[in-house]
Chain A
Amino acid sequence: MLVEALIAICLVGALAVWLVPNRFAHKAAFAVSLLPVVVSLYMYAVFDGSGNALLGGDIAFETFAEWLTLGVYSVNYHMGLDGISLPLVVLSTVLTSLAILSAWTPVDTRQSQFYGLMLFMEAALIGVFAALDFLLWFVFWEAVLVPMYFLIGVWGGPRRKYAAIKFFVYTNIASLLMFVGFFALVFGLGDAVTSTGLPEIAQALRAGQLGGLGIVGPDMLALLAFLAMFIGFAVKVPIVPFHTWLPDAHVEAPTPASVMLAGVLLKMGTYALLRFNFTMLPEVAATLAVPIAAIAVLSVIYGALLALAQQDLKRIVAYSSVSSMGYVILGLVAYTVYGVGGATFQMVAHGLISGLLFMTVGVFYNATHTRMVGDMAGLADRMPVTAGVFVAGAFAYMGLPLMAGFAAELFIFIGAFQSTVLTAAPVFTAIAMFGIVIVAGYLLWAMQRSLFGPYRLETDYELGRAPVHDIVPIVTLVLLIVALGTAPDIFFGMIEEATIDVVDFGGDL
């Protein structure tokens, strides 16, 4: 019942914070958000799952209760965690707490509503990573959208309305496409499944029980469903060419929402790709390996080039997510233990690193009221700690050893290089690795222009050291990033155990 307790704490907390007067909302929300952190860390400590939840592994913290039946299909309340979802749940709780802490300065209106929505979103995110029934999962998946829509639309920048609507429309259409794709599979399985439970469906699909649907044969059905789900999730990830909502949403969103968006929401897409496309339809994924890898590599390079061309520091960080998510896709399509495991690890690592960078940009913006790289210079003089943290975050992004990004990318590259599923795997890997050079290029260039050199910002604001409530979350993140980088086994052990089954799909390809 611990998963339910987590969700309940967040929901009750959200309601409580929503009713608290504005001036107390921040402290109340932070206090409430510490509870899920404690609970999720406790869950990490006593985690006793093994294997993949969808492929017959032992599920930890499992709950099962009957919910609905429609015809032959039963929909059940089925929750539980395995080695893939637990790290993401921990990521969600930790990042929500830190994001709430970092909201002190930027959020100055309707605070109780803001923090209420943040906690509500945390509940939905935990649900997404824990649900093991499709309809239940979909309820949480869509429930994440609603608070994010308001977070961007109400507390965002000047073009917030446009960005919020764009985000909402894009991701909703994507959800619909994915929903149709998934149900095509369920109906295609015919009598082989009697529920919308993800484990049942995954195992039936892996056992090759997919039949045709009308005039569409089984192979074609699998292909079409794979594509529908892939595009649906690709929007969320986002992968080029479905990424155009992302910079708008990121730039307009208030800092804490950006942190959650980049840190956790994008992982919903890659998590779903792993759970649905790559776990349920490995054969199709293997057939499409080359085009998917090409899109992944394109995302890496194109995202990095776009970042290189930006003037707005927040946009730079936003576009860099596109390339990082490209690595994740490359790791997934490699179908090796290191590839898929590294991709999962990268989800966590990127969550921490991009969260860190967004928070730091937020701190700079609070102090200088500009995000234009061209307007800033010499910030390191005036805000040494924040600048230092930004440099650390950038290095983590570039994959400097002993930081989380390094571990993740190393795993992915090793995994991708060894891939037997992907034709010309070394070529794709090599091109993707070149992406790191561009990443290093734009980050170093951006830092050079904004942080170093003589201070010349013309502003009415007194520029000094950032306040403690801004420093604490970013320093905490740096520590976590170094911890994950030096001891990747904090998570990688359990991830590896859960991904071996995904990669091992019997038969020959």
Chain B
Amino acid sequence: MVSASNWLLLAPTGAFVVAALLLFVVDSISPEDASGTVLSAIATAGSVVAMALSGVLLLAGVAEGGVELFDGQLVVDGMSLLFTFIFGSVTALVAVASADYLKGLPHKSEYYLLALLAATGMALMASANSLAVVFIALELSSLPSYALVAYLKQNRGSVEAGLKYFLIGALSSSILVYGISLVYAATGSLLLPDVASAAGEAANTYPGVLGVGILMVLAGVAFKTASVPFHFWAPDAYEGAPAPVAAFLSSASKAAGFVVAFRVFTVAFPIADVATSVDWVLAFQVLAVVTMTVGNFAAATQENVKRMLAYSSIGHAGYVLIGLAALGGAGSADAGSTVLGAGMLHLLVYGFMNTGAFLFIALAEYWDVGRTFEDYNGLATQAPLACVAMTVFLFSLAGLPVGGGFISKYYLFAGAVGAGVWWLALVGAVNSALSLFYYSRVVKAMWIEDPAEGAVEIESYPTALYAAVLAAAVVTVVLLPGLVVFDNAAFDAAAALL
């Protein structure tokens, strides 16, 4: 039953759209002299509203059980609200931080506009209940992202990264859409619940068609989440992109990929029904182990801090994949919802700590500090507060109990053990320990090493960027005791899917 109030559930997504349109209006009225601050404020306000609305709706339990809209093409439930909250928070942080980063650059309103449209696409991905909507939403979020990566168009690295991202993205989209067509051929439907009801029979009648289709959908999702072996674009794109854009992509865009994976695989392809044609849980197990291991080992060998963070974000994709890889194991449905919910919670914390870390890189780029570990030597003597924040991000990413990253990793690994795949938890824990090595290199450079000869003198402290970094750090720390606010919502959202 669709009532008027149900449409209000789309208000968080609407907030992104309204803010984007508002930017469009402002830009049309005064194309060149619109101040960066105003544009940033509009974008921030829109994302904060999206974040607040989704947070309130989520915690109020309004959409418990899921509300279908547009004849079931969209569904708003706990998971979509939780992820919209993540997108809102990341976009808000990035929008605040960009105000300083974009100083002196042209086309500011387009930048914010593209970011908000990408966020809209992500919010739609979180609500997509049909493979067609999945594809459209994914393109809506991807196309602005390509442009954002190439935003610094005088910079060869940025343009090259944008091109690379675009080419691989286009290829992955075509793989995904081909996979969707195969699934449609086998099941005769694009609506996720209808696919599920036809999947059991299809798995027996057309095991090959369905199996290949599912695997191709998986490949499309793996691209969006930067999972090995579809991760090659990520380090280059993140390195070349403006740092706030890298923050946006590695946190929000990745979360968007995961929300699609969570919903499509649990709702449309119930493992019990499709196991005869393709065992996607096994595929995700392989993907998880390979992704976290490759990501962490590659991160450990980097000399460039931004690339290190890019590879470490691949490693984190591997941890979150545990959420799917531990499904259908020996444990009960309860164990499955625990580990899936843990994946969501990790993405929530990750949204703050990883965005914060990339925004710190933005700060370093703003100061022309340089890109390697050595360039960060002695930075703490000049910017102690920002370095404290960065230390919090890095240690929290590594899973030390200074921030929410510890709790969310505990949830993930303990959930995996509870679901009977203890070896995944073990691989994750070992990887986590390894990650401490390269994260602490940055910490060591900032605090312990002496500044090199001729190191940059920091003269100005960009207020907005600083504020965004500190806000992210405070939330990261607060999430250590405070993640409990969200845990029931996440576990319930996961339970509703299974």
Q: Are B444 and A165 in contact (CB under 8 A)?
A: yes
Tell whether B184 is near chain A: CB-to-CB under 8 Å.
no
Contacts of B407 in A (CB 8 A): 68
A29-37, A153-161, A329-337: which lies at the B interface? A153-161
Expressed in whole angstroms, the Cα–Cα distance for A172 and B436 within the complex equals 9
Tell whether B483 is near chain A: CB-to-CB under 8 Å.
yes
Contacts of A161 in B (CB 8 A): 444, 448-449
Q: Which of B415-438 contact A (CB under 8 A)?
A: 415, 417-418, 422, 426, 429, 433, 436-437
Q: Are A71 and B334 in contact (CB under 8 A)?
A: yes
Tell whether B481 is near chain A: CB-to-CB under 8 Å.
yes
Nearest chain A residue, comparing its CB with the CB of B401: A139
Q: Are A142 and B401 in contact (CB under 8 A)?
A: yes
Q: Are B395 and A146 in contact (CB under 8 A)?
A: yes
Query: A187: which of B411, B415, B417 is its contact (CB, 8 Å)?
Result: B417
Tell whether B204 is near chain A: CB-to-CB under 8 Å.
no
Q: Are A146 and B433 in contact (CB under 8 A)?
A: no
Query: A71: which of B402, B418, B422, B426 is its contact (CB, 8 Å)?
Result: B418
Tell whether B301 is near chain A: CB-to-CB under 8 Å.
no
Q: Which of A144-200 contact B (CB under 8 A)?
A: 145-146, 149-150, 153-154, 160-161, 164-165, 168-169, 172-173, 176, 179-180, 183, 187
Nearest chain B residue, comparing its CB with the CB of A141: B401
With both chains docked as a complex, state the minimum distance between the C-beta of B495 and any C-beta of chain A, in angstroms: 12
Contacts of B178 in A (CB 8 A): none
Counting contact residues on chain B (CB < 8 A from A), the size range is: 35 or more
Expressed in whole angstroms, the Cα–Cα distance for A68 and B414 within the complex equals 13
Q: Are B447 and A154 in contact (CB under 8 A)?
A: yes
With both chains docked as a complex, state the minimum distance between the C-beta of B406 and any C-beta of chain A, in angstroms: 7
Contacts of B484 in A (CB 8 A): 67-68
Q: Are B417 and A183 in contact (CB under 8 A)?
A: yes
Tell whether B440 is near chain A: CB-to-CB under 8 Å.
yes
Expressed in whole angstroms, the Cα–Cα distance for A146 and B399 within the complex equals 13
Tell whether A367 is near chain B: CB-to-CB under 8 Å.
no
Nearest chain A residue, comparing its CB with the CB of B420: A214
Query: B415: which of A71, A110, A168, A176 is its contact (CB, 8 Å)?
Result: A71
Tell whether B410 is near chain A: CB-to-CB under 8 Å.
yes
Tell whether A61 is near chain B: CB-to-CB under 8 Å.
no
Contacts of B444 in A (CB 8 A): 153, 161, 164-165
Contacts of A73 in B (CB 8 A): 414
Tell whether B492 is near chain A: CB-to-CB under 8 Å.
no
C-beta contact mask, B454-498 vs A, less than 8 Å → 1, else 0? 000000000000000000000000001101100100000000000
Tell whether A444 is near chain B: CB-to-CB under 8 Å.
no
Tell whether A420 is near chain B: CB-to-CB under 8 Å.
no
Q: Are A146 and B400 in contact (CB under 8 A)?
A: yes
Q: Are B415 and A150 in contact (CB under 8 A)?
A: no
Query: A176: which of B429, B448, B480 is its contact (CB, 8 Å)?
Result: B429
C-beta contact mask, A126-141 vs B, less than 8 Å → 1, else 0? 0000000001001100
Helix, strand, loop or mixed for chain B's interface? helix
With both chains docked as a complex, state the minimum distance between the C-beta of B476 and any C-beta of chain A, in angstroms: 14
Contacts A139-B480, A146-B402 given; does A69 touch B487 at CB 8 Å: yes
With both chains docked as a complex, state the minimum distance between the C-beta of A120 and any C-beta of chain B, in angstroms: 11
Tell whether A113 is near chain B: CB-to-CB under 8 Å.
yes
Tell whether A143 is near chain B: CB-to-CB under 8 Å.
yes
Tell whether B384 is near chain A: CB-to-CB under 8 Å.
yes
Q: Are A154 and B448 in contact (CB under 8 A)?
A: yes
Contacts A70-B411, A142-B400 given; does A180 touch B429 at CB 8 Å: yes
Contacts of B426 in A (CB 8 A): 180
Contacts of B410 in A (CB 8 A): 70, 135
Q: Which of A71, A154, A180 has the most CB of B within 10 A?
A: A71
Q: Are A168 and B338 in contact (CB under 8 A)?
A: no
With both chains docked as a complex, state the minimum distance between the C-beta of B331 and any C-beta of chain A, in angstroms: 9
With both chains docked as a complex, state the minimum distance between the C-beta of A51 and any C-beta of chain B, in angstroms: 29
With both chains docked as a complex, state the minimum distance between the C-beta of A18 and any C-beta of chain B, in angstroms: 8
Contacts of A169 in B (CB 8 A): 436-437
With both chains docked as a complex, state the minimum distance between the C-beta of B168 and any C-beta of chain A, in angstroms: 36
Q: Which of B387-412 contact A (CB under 8 A)?
A: 391, 395, 400-402, 406-407, 410-411
Contacts of A160 in B (CB 8 A): 448
C-beta contact mask, A459-484 vs B, less than 8 Å → 1, else 0? 00000000000000000000000000
Expressed in whole angstroms, the Cα–Cα distance for A169 and B435 within the complex equals 11
With both chains docked as a complex, state the minimum distance between the C-beta of A131 and any C-beta of chain B, in angstroms: 12
Contacts of B437 in A (CB 8 A): 169
Nearest chain A residue, comparing its CB with the CB of B449: A161
Contacts of B418 in A (CB 8 A): 70-71
Contacts of B433 in A (CB 8 A): 172-173, 176
Query: A67: which of B384, B401, B429, B481 is its contact (CB, 8 Å)?
Result: B481
Contacts of A69 in B (CB 8 A): 487
Q: Are B402 and A70 in contact (CB under 8 A)?
A: no
C-beta contact mask, A50-83 vs B, less than 8 Å → 1, else 0? 0000000000000000011111010001000000
The 4 closest A-B pairs by CB, nearest first: A153-B448, A139-B401, A142-B401, A71-B338
Q: A70-B342, A70-B418, A176-B429 are in contact. List 19 more A-B contacts (CB 8 A).
A: A68-B407, A71-B338, A71-B415, A77-B481, A142-B400, A142-B401, A145-B400, A146-B402, A149-B440, A150-B447, A153-B447, A154-B448, A161-B444, A161-B449, A164-B448, A172-B433, A172-B436, A176-B433, A187-B417
B residues contacting A by CB (< 8 A) are: 334-335, 338, 342, 381, 384, 391, 395, 400-402, 406-407, 410-411, 414-415, 417-418, 422, 426, 429, 433, 436-437, 440, 444, 447-449, 480-481, 483-484, 487
Q: Report 18 cross-chain contacts, Cβ distance below 8 Å, ordered by A residue.
A: A68-B483, A68-B484, A69-B487, A70-B410, A70-B418, A71-B415, A73-B414, A110-B381, A139-B406, A143-B402, A145-B400, A146-B400, A146-B402, A150-B447, A154-B448, A161-B449, A164-B444, A172-B436
